Structure 1
């Protein structure tokens, strides 16, 4: 089975290729704007906005895994979200069709639900609050419309919650880094629960879909339960690292005002800052999601959420 991973040079793509390479029966192709530090021999430099290049590269492919996306909170101009995430999807599907490739696994996001929803499942109406979530939802709609006219295709959409793991430098790493350093400022009471996904599990689920789910159109939330509160993360970090973590709490109102202040400062400086009002809102939001559908497919996560957190903390901060 030849698998083309579009956007495979990043954190998730690299771990997915590593996982697939451990099992026989797969041939790989990585298509990305950036060279892969781990898999340069199978990497082709290309952009999802260049359909002609995709048409050439997807010859002989059996399955496409589409990871390529604009996903940071501070992408400018905002039109890039729609160029890459929506037009990139259209280009990929058209290139697949020209090569008679009829299977795709697409990583969307739980951001399509919006903030502070009560444990949404896959049937919960979409209500994205930012350009990233809106563009991913539009990409899903493109897929649904495509399937309506191509019912012989196999389309699997994964909506993962925030992904963490060894080597990642995203929002969870930044949070754990602040906690581990002892310079952590808690905005609000810290009782908001957060669904998370460990990298070792999310790529294992992708492999499961490639191997086992070969027909139909399905959408899956992906979450590793149980959900931790921010206070839980502080406690587990201190326990794993053998540290007493001091925590200063400030009210949410002050925190969000500070976030708006950083927004203004970033605008004045024309510079992207690590603190913003959007990140304060996301930090304090309840981000719980239902993943019963994924967990009733027969898939068994290889790691518990506690083991994933322990492996990450020891790899990143255990020196």
Structure 2
């Protein structure tokens, strides 16, 4: 079995490589020219250097491949210009279309595509499943949904089968997103939250995401299906913050701001935004986002591809904290 993977060097890619390294498969990794595999993977995998939009690169990448894990793409980023917005579609949509075309030509059997719950366009007070309506708001989420549609229609046009995995917030080593920022603020003892902290969020550790991807790649019933994948349980903000504090080995705990006070501050922020030409740090939308639940069902993945999480919240957060200590040179 020959496996190829785009986006192999990131937070989601490296745990997948760890599993594939133990599997005995022949593995190819597509890397941008400036990227390098970690030392533990050197000489273990074939490296193809190039861009997802390069037809020649994709021909080499897809040649003799059975399954492709497609993780590469332009991720969360606030576009500063029309060019920045178009870049999401050039990389995430056009690049995916070119990958599918090369995969079809090379008779690849299946592509597993890593997507996001951002396609639903919801930030709070929402519980979603695979049948929930998708109304993406950001350029990132819109481009991901378009790429999903290409993946799921691939086999109808003689291309490989497609599987779409939608992930919520991911945590683990190499995370550059909100969890890493939260850990930093807890480390500095400046993190706080609104209300009692009992609102819930769905999340997933990078190891659990890799486990789901392997299941999706080899389960026949996964063909041309979409799956929401989480840790299999939801966490209150208090539970998540406590896991971070334990991993940091601190007795300090984040302080609370009464929700009524936060809402009042949000209303004041709304008023300021009506008279100034920039976004205020705190407004009603941000208060709602930071004090509302956002959860997703993982039942379809559990039942149809027999996905079971292999890592607990505390284990995953501990791994991320250990990585951040090395990255930030924390004592």
TM-score, normalising length: structure 2 = 0.82
Q: Distance in 2 between matches of 1:130 and 1:79?
A: 12
Q: After superposition, what is the alpha-carbon deviation per residue over 1:278-298, rounded to whole angstroms, capped at 9, x for unaligned?
A: 987754453211110111232
Give the paired residue count. 309
- The answer for the alignment partner of 1:272 in structure 2 is none
Distance apart, 1:89 and its partner CA: 0.9
- The answer for the alignment partner of 1:22 in structure 2 is 22
Distance apart, 1:109 and its partner CA: 0.8
- After TM superposition, the runs of 4+ consecutive aligned structure 1 residues lying more than 4 A away are 258-261, 263-266, 275-285
SS at 1:22 equivalent: helix
SS at 1:133 equivalent: helix
Distance apart, 1:255 and its partner CA: 5.5
Q: Distance in 2 between matches of 1:310 and 1:10?
A: 18
- Consecutive unaligned residues of structure 1, counting only runs of 5 or more, are 267-274
CA contact (8 A) 2:103 2:160 kept: no
Q: CA distance change for structure 1 residues 284 and 45 in 2, over 3 Å: closer, same or farther?
A: farther
Identify the match of residue 251 of structure 1 among 262, 270, 278: 262
- Consecutive unaligned residues of structure 2, counting only runs of 5 or more, are none
CA contact (8 A) 1:154 1:214 kept: no
Matched, 1:160 2:136: no
Identify the match of residue 312 of structure 1 among 315, 320, 325: 320
Identify the match of residue 236 of structure 2 among 219, 229, 236: 229
Identify the match of residue 177 of structure 2 among 164, 167, 170: 170
CA RMSD in angstroms comes to 3.0
Q: Counterparts of 1:31-42 in structure 2 under 5 Å?
A: 31-33=30-32, 34-38=34-38, 39=41, 41=43, 42=46
Q: Distance in 2 between matches of 1:160 and 1:192?
A: 19
Identify the match of residue 118 of structure 1 among 120, 126, 129: 126
Identify the match of residue 298 of structure 1 among 306, 311, 316: 306
SS at 1:228 equivalent: strand
Q: Distance in 1 between matches of 2:12 and 2:198?
A: 29
- The answer for the alignment partner of 1:194 in structure 2 is 201
SS at 1:108 equivalent: strand
Distance apart, 1:90 and its partner CA: 0.5
Q: CA distance change for structure 1 residues 123 and 199 in 2, over 3 Å: closer, same or farther?
A: same
TM-score, normalising length: structure 1 = 0.85
Q: Distance in 1 between matches of 2:90 and 2:286?
A: 23
Q: Counterparts of 1:82-101 in structure 2 under 5 Å?
A: 82-101=89-108
